[in-house]
Structure 1
Amino acid sequence: MSGTYLLVWDAPNMDMGLGAILGGRPTAAFRPRFDAIGRWFVEIALLHDATPQAAVFTNVAPGGADSIRPWVEAIRNVGFAVFAKPKLHEDDDVDPDMIRYIEDNRDSLDGVVVASADGQNFQPLLEELAAEGKAVCVLGFHEHASWALNDPALEFVDLEDVEGVFREPLPRINLDNLPEGGAWLQPFRPLAELLNHR
């Protein structure tokens, strides 16, 4: 094995992207299976003769540890490391921690997969890594990743295209593939949230 191949998963952002597609919180049938993601990722790392290393970055809301604990333990059992950060303020995002993690591993890096529904914060770093000759892939949802789809330096893989990740097909409707009779596109967040952002 030569270097390291990283998978960096932005859990809050991927949940938000999935929720936008589903029109609400994902149920068990629409939760991504981390064993399938892990198998897919290990195969990619081995193709590059690199050591696979995967980490999920997540926030824990106050009082939310009990609800998130089974999920954290399940993905750790699959082989993913977990970086958990308390969500004490609205801007307590994990993006800076993910970028720092990639930077900390940069010297030994053969490639990186960033799983993020809207990962534009990662674009400058990913373009730098691609320019250095490292393999760079964005894993997400095509509805939210035009920045990656339109960047010739980056490879993009839609999460639903990874074999076995979802038990049921996602109910995807977007402006590119509307049914003949039309379709409702659900809001990304409750309208009442506007009262919190005056």
Structure 2
Amino acid sequence: MSDLHESTHHYGAQEAPGPENLLLVWDAPNLDMGLGAILGGRPTAAFRPRFDAIGRWLLTRAGQLSQEAGRRVEAEATVFTNVTPGGADVIRPWVEALRNVGFAVFAKPKTDEDSDVDPDMLAHIRRRHAEGVLRGLVVASADGQNFKETLEELAAEGLPVTVIGFHEHASWAVASETIEFVDLEEITGVFREPLPRISLDQLPDEGAWLQPFRPLSALLAGRHH
């Protein structure tokens, strides 16, 4: 048993529950890393996900849930991201664009290895669950591994749970019998150009380069922990 229910008392004194929602939480640092691994470098504008396309996909899903439930289910979407020291000016246009599309943004300073946004994403999921308004959950993460236990527990309760990511990195979700997996590239209009994906199962005759997931120098940073 995870601590999904243990946090309920933190949100016990809520006002009357609002409309049910289909909640999307987007793990920007993890998806950026997964996308960079596929591209072999930092994503350029042509390979940045279009959040208006994500929003339309989510609204369609919410509409389907509304029909199934016989009552209104609203779409709620939040992008969780880190802001590196001195990086506010670089990230500000992206954050403003997200908010203009209709996404909330949770931004957290990236001060060390322990300042990831995963705990904040899980806390947000638990909050909505404790409020009793969660009708469906979508987690966007390249691998989704850090959310596995909570997602499997929610799915066991009968909640529709979906992971959006890259099938190369999220084999556990692809193989899951209780969690739906949607490859990010399968969502209409998310990428302007096809991703240059390489599969070990379908290598070209001339071979292919597989870029590292992280720089070798990261090993040096790991020695300090």
Question: Could you tell me which amino acid in structure 1 is paired with residue 43 of structure 2?
Answer: P
Correspondence 1:170 to 2:195 = yes
Correspondence 1:91 to 2:114 = yes
Correspondence 1:120 to 2:137 = no
Correspondence 1:194 to 2:219 = yes
Q: Give the drift of 1:197.
A: 1.8
Match of 2:31 among 14, 29, 38: 14
- Partner in structure 1 of residue 83 of structure 2: 60
Question: Could you tell me which amino acid in structure 1 is paired with residue 99 of structure 2?
Answer: R
Distance in 1, Cα, partners of 2:108 & 2:204: 41
Match of 2:99 among 76, 86, 99: 76
Question: Could you tell me which amino acid in structure 2 is paired with residue 75 of structure 1?
Answer: L
Runs of 4+ in 1 over 3 A off after TM superposition: none
Secondary structure, aligned partner of 1:59: strand
Question: Could you tell me which amino acid in structure 2 is paired with residue 98 of structure 1?
Answer: M
% identity of equivalent residues: 70
Q: Where do 5+ consecutive residues of structure 1 fail to align?
A: none
1:127-165 per-position Cα deviation (integer Å, ceiling 9, x unaligned): 111111111000000000011111111000000000000
Secondary structure, aligned partner of 1:89: coil
Distance in 2, Cα, partners of 1:116 & 1:2: 26
> 1:135-154 counterparts in 2 under 5 A?
135-154=160-179
Secondary structure, aligned partner of 1:32: coil
Correspondence 1:40 to 2:57 = yes
Correspondence 1:130 to 2:169 = no
Distance in 2, Cα, partners of 1:184 & 1:97: 36
1:160-193 per-position Cα deviation (integer Å, ceiling 9, x unaligned): 0000000000000021221122111011122222
Moved more, 177-186 or 53-62: 177-186
Question: Could you tell me which amino acid in structure 2 is paired with residue 133 of structure 1?
Answer: G
Moved more, 116-125 or 15-24: 116-125
Q: Give the drift of 1:45.
A: 0.8
Q: Where do 5+ consecutive residues of structure 2 fail to align?
A: 1-17, 67-72
Distance in 2, Cα, partners of 1:128 & 1:2: 23
Distance in 1, Cα, partners of 2:116 & 2:217: 22
Question: Could you tell me which amino acid in structure 2 is paired with residue 43 of structure 1?
Answer: T
Correspondence 1:25 to 2:42 = yes
Distance in 1, Cα, partners of 2:126 & 2:62: 18
Moved more, 20-29 or 144-153: 144-153
Query: Does the 8 Å CA contact 1:174/1:185 hold for their aligned counterparts?
Result: no
